[in-house]
């Protein structure tokens, strides 16, 4: 296994800069990349979906952990495979909205999967919030995420 090279960096965004963390194999070979957007109320998964809709030329696949579903017009712009991981009891993102988004992706013939985890709440993946964290759902969601990226970024 290759050594991992890491560093902090800044990148331009909206006429400003934002901090980032880069980790990559130090073997000098080309590898697929994954951009991780931290959980932030109202952004984490929604921003991944929005980026997939508006910058398909830059990414090969997207995974959204409980991200606000796209509008029909934005869903029509999707060209990359999308995995959506949602909570059954998310007060901000009703299951009906998730199902409508799933139907929109189906109409666009976008490769997609949507999973709604029974008995879970928004942020079920966040293990720093024991009152919400759902270990079994989080583990399953993580395995689905790895398989999705493996399918569409590594093997695809």
pLDDT tens track for 115-128 = 999 999 999 999 99
Secondary structure (DSSP) of 127-155 = TT-TTT--HHHHHHHHHHHHHHHIIIII-
More confident residue, 129 or 47: 129
Question: 35-154: CATH homologous superfamily?
Answer: Alpha/Beta hydrolase fold, catalytic domain (3.40.50.1820)
Separation of alpha carbons 113 and 131, rounded Å: 27
For residue 9, list its beta bridge partners: 20
- Mean pLDDT confidence for 70-76: 93
DSSP H or E stretch at residue 46: helix 44-54
SS3 73: helix
In the chain, % of residues over pLDDT 90: 56
């Amino acid at each position: 296994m290759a050594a991992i090279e890491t560093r902090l960096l800044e990148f331009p965004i909206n006429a400003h800069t934002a901090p980032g963390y880069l980790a990559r194999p130090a073997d000098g070979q080309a590898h697929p990349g994954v951009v991780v957007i931290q959980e932030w109320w109202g952004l984490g998964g929604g921003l991944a979906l929005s980026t997939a809709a508006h910058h398909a030329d830059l990414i090969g696949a997207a995974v959204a952990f409980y991200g606000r579903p796209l509008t029909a017009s934005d869903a029509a712009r999707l060209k990359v495979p999308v995995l959506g991981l949602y909570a059954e009891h998310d007060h901000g993102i009703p299951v009906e909205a998730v199902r409508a988004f799933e139907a929109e992706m189906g109409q666009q013939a976008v490769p997609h999967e949507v999973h709604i985890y029974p008995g879970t709440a928004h942020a079920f993946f966040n293990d720093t919030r024991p009152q919400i964290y759902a270990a079994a759902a989080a583990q399953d969601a993580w395995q689905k995420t790895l398989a999705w990226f493996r399918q569409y970024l590594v093997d695809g």
